[in-house]
């Protein structure tokens, strides 16, 4: 599970690092959060295809999935792209993608993020609808608050294989297996520019904080890159996770 891929440097990191990780770790499935892949704001068809060509099997997203309008018609296509499940009915796209016996679900949180349908109830409804169809269920909760992510992890413990958080672009050190067998981490982190504030030029972000005035955020396009992800090992016979560990890299 790869953290939020941000802009050109993020896509470069996936293209550079992922092929070696596929061999080194013997990966069976790779999922990346791609909602910031197109210039830091949204996902378009070209950047999605670039991630797929680099070895990504599926793409999850979040609140920025709507920023690039051209991707919207493709959300209902055969492309393995998920938008958050808990948007209102009839919203374009789907909240999950399937890989044989594996179900990848995308949720969005509500604390400090926006007004969405309840992610807890949305997940309950999906698990009931697909009862027994998938042993392995992995959830990307795109949310701001650590408490909301941990709450979802405990709520789904034993009902899904893994609950990982995205959105903050800051990797957390709380990887663990919950008591009933669900792997958990509060945030995968980011794939993008190291010398940035969550991907953006520091001076732009500082202007917002210091002057409280609107400031367009430019995504950093050069310099060292960080690659944040986690490796999750799952017993296919039970759907329970057996291990979760951070896989982080940096390069120039």
Catalytic residues: 64
Which residues neighbour 94 within 8 Å (Cβ) at sequence distance 6 or greater?
75, 76, 82, 83, 85
- In terms of Cβ atoms closer than 10 Å to its own Cβ (0-12, 13-18, 19+), residue 223 is exposed
Please give the angle made by the CA atoms of 215, 219 and 225, to the nearest 5 degrees.
145
The beta-carbon contacts of 200-203 under 8 Å, at least 24 apart in sequence, are: 200/40
Q: What is the C-alpha separation between 109 and 112, in angstroms, rounded?
A: 8
CA distance 165 to 148: 10
């Amino acid at each position: 599970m790869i953290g939020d891929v941000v802009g050109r440097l993020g896509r470069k990191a996936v293209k550079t690092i992922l092929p070696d990780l596929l061999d080194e770790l013997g990966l069976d499935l790779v999922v990346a959060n791609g909602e910031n892949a197109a210039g830091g704001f949204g996902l378009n068809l070209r950047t999605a295809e670039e991630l797929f060509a680099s070895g990504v099997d599926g793409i999850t997203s979040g609140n920025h999935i709507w920023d690039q309008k051209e991707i919207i018609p493709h959300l209902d296509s055969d492309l393995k792209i998920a938008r958050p499940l808990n948007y209102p009915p009839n919203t374009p796209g789907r909240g999950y993608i399937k890989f044989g016996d594996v179900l990848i679900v995308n949720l969005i949180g509500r604390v400090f993020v926006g007004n969405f349908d309840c992610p807890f109830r949305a997940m309950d409804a999906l698990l009931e609808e697909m009862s027994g169809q998938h042993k392995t269920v992995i959830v990307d909760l795109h949310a701001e608050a650590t408490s909301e992510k941990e709450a979802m992890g405990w709520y789904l413990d034993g009902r899904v294989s893994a609950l990982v958080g995205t959105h903050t672009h800051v990797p957390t050190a709380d990887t663990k297996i919950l008591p009933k067998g669900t792997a958990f981490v509060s945030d995968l982190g980011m794939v993008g520019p190291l010398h940035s504030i969550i991907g953006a030029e520091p001076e732009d972000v500082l202007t917002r904080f210091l002057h409280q005035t609107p400031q367009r955020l430019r995504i950093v396009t050069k310099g060292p890159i960080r690659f944040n992800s986690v490796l999750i090992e799952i017993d296919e016979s039970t759907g329970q996770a057996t291990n979760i560990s951070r896989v982080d890299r940096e390069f120039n």
